[in-house]
Chain A
Amino acid sequence: MKKPLMQEHLDPFFKYQVMKEPGGEKLALCFACDTCTLSCPVRVQEEAYQPRTIIRLILLGAKQEVLTDPVIWLCASCFQCQERCPQGVGVTDLINAVKNIACREGFIPKSMTMQMGLLAKHGRLLEIGDFENKKRDKQQLPLIKEQPEDIQRIIDLSGAARYLPQESE
């Protein structure tokens, strides 16, 4: 954070929003020991990424700062912090909950909408067409037929259709 946080930018209810989100329930258990940050392999490369700071900012109510800062997307979900946190905060699950909230509030990275688009189109992240199947056949592996219909239904029923890329993109 470069600028001081002014009161009018803080949302005291943000911490409750995070604690209601699955994965974020144990936020308030954090006693700020910094084990998570010291264990984080992303932090070794990126000064700006510090899981403890994210947790403290949430407790402070710095909603905009947390949700709009692209650093939250650097988390590799390696679970090292979650393993070591002495308070059982569930740090990786919590960061994931924050990402879910960021998406819902309109701050979804383009790479994420693209992934959702691929899933809806192919039912899988990587396309399998004739070309891929020919290669599979050569290795005597069973052929795969894309069946995206059920996947599209699940995207829709789980409320994720809004994260699909827009036609114009």
Chain B
Amino acid sequence: MKKAAFFIGCTVPVRGTNYEQSFREVARVLQIELVDHPGFSCCGFPTHAINRMTALALSARNLALANQVSLSSMITLCNACTENMTHTNHLIQHDPVTCDEINRILSQIHLQYHGEVKVKHAMRYLYEEIGLDTIRASVKNPLSNLRIAAYPGCHYTKPSELYEGFDNPEKPHTLNELVIATGASIVSYESSCCGGGTLGAKEDTALQMGIQTLKSMKENEADAIVLICPFCDVMFEQNQKKMEKLYGKEFNLPILYYPQLLGLAMNIERERLGLTINRIKLDKVLEKIQSGNKE
């Protein structure tokens, strides 16, 4: 049994409970013990553009809380949390001045932190700590009928200087491999930033950014998009209707979070995968899985 602190951030526990629930389910099957900490709060990312030290101290606080209960590993679900927490770890380990400044703030709330906790995005954790073989072995119902556009999102691999050679920032492949392990096939498409980071500043620009990618996924006949970040979901799922309006054409591309896809392949009961929370109807996708079983 592996054990890790489970950091779900701000967006997932409110708007991405399907992601959270399905990950808890597949983690149980894969024998990962996820430890929730009642003190976890925001990772700090939203303050980074305003005041860097606030972002660093907020993430260090969460890491310090995990360290306090002797957890040396942390699993994150959101790309932004992953990037911000990893960035903080990196500075604490390599920049003594910043490390001191962070700890000066933490000491006022009776904490300290020196980089003890290793942060990994949940999918990186599956890829590196659990491994494709184990995941393949857990699949009971290969989803061989499905054509998936796997979209890892920017901060899963970037900035690469933080991620120690994990994956390839120009041609990410680890999520593709994880999807293929479920039996589904991969659709190639032209990928661009989802636009989530621009949404607050200028909605139309952000939507146009998202349209670029959806268009290409559609042209390449994807049945569904697989996501691993709640901000990508805000764009590709929650704003898909708005993008269709702006673009003048329907995309009608449902999304699945990766653990939902894996959960379906593991034959976990559908109610436990939060599928009813998904906003774009999954009927066609589920039908395809069903008919694949009969063949």
Contact = CB atoms under 8 A, between A and B. Distances in A.
Interface of A: 22-23, 41-42, 44-46, 70, 73-80, 82-83, 92, 96-97, 99-100, 103, 108-109, 111-112, 115-116, 119, 123-128, 132, 135-136, 139-142, 144-145, 147-148, 150-151, 153-155, 157-160, 163
A157 B57 contact: yes
A6 to B, nearest CB: 29
Interface string B77-96: 00000000000000000000
Contacts, number: 163
Contact of A79 (B154, B205, B206): B154
B277 to A, nearest CB: 8
A34 to B, nearest CB: 18
B21 A44 contact: no
Contacts of A116: 47, 50
Contacts of A23: 52
B51 A160 contact: yes
Interface in B42-76: 42, 46-54, 57-58, 61
Contacts of B135: none
Nearest to B271: A139
B145 interface: no
Interface in B175-218: 192-193, 195-198, 200-202, 205-206, 208-209, 212
Given A78-B193, A154-B58, A124 B38 contact: no
Contacts of A136: 13, 17
B147 interface: no
B158 interface: yes
A141 B14 CA distance: 11
A42 B209 contact: yes
A24 to B, nearest CB: 11
Contacts of A158: 51, 53-54, 57, 105
Interface string B24-35: 100000000000
A140 B20 CA distance: 11
B278 interface: no
A8 to B, nearest CB: 30
B195 A96 contact: no
Contacts of A115: 46-47, 50
A124 B10 contact: yes
B201 A108 contact: no
Nearest to B20: A141
A44 B206 CA distance: 11
A158 B88 CA distance: 15
A82 B10 contact: no
A136 B20 CA distance: 10
22 contacts: A41-B195, A42-B193, A46-B202, A75-B197, A78-B158, A80-B193, A109-B201, A125-B46, A126-B10, A132-B13, A136-B13, A139-B274, A141-B17, A151-B41, A151-B42, A154-B54, A154-B58, A157-B105, A158-B57, A159-B54, A160-B50, A163-B50
